[in-house]
Amino acid sequence: MLLIRCPHCGNRPEIEFHCGGEAHIARPETPSEMTDQHWAEFLYYRTNPKGMHAERWQHRHGCGRWFNALRDTVTDKFAATYEMGSPRPDLAATPAPARTA
């Protein structure tokens, strides 16, 4: 069972959570002035990295709150979880999870 640390409830089983896609994507303040290309990039273009990825998660079957998480897309290990509105943690300060060969 994969445990995910909800910033409010602590470690909880994975099945209580729901992933909401990439984090830190701010809605443009003046959409009407944007080109279709830039609007499409806001709506659909995602980084999809191999490695550390900032994602939105929701503790859907617990406290119900959304939060952000840094997850390694290769190992599925969570490096950090942090509250909505706080900046992405500095990974140099947070050691990345060890990769297995």
Binding site for other proteins (CB under 8 A): 1, 8-10, 12-13, 15-16, 61-65
C-alpha pair distances (Å), 101 with each of 75, 91, 98? 10, 21, 10
| 8/77 with CB nearer other proteins | 8
Per the listing, tokens 């942090």 go with 82
User: Based on CB atoms, which residue is closest to other proteins, 9 or 40?
Assistant: 9
CB of 56 to other proteins, least distance (A): 17
Among left, alpha and beta (phi > 0; psi -120 to 50; other), residue 12 is beta
Which residue, 9 or 25, is less far from other proteins as judged by CB?
Answer: 9
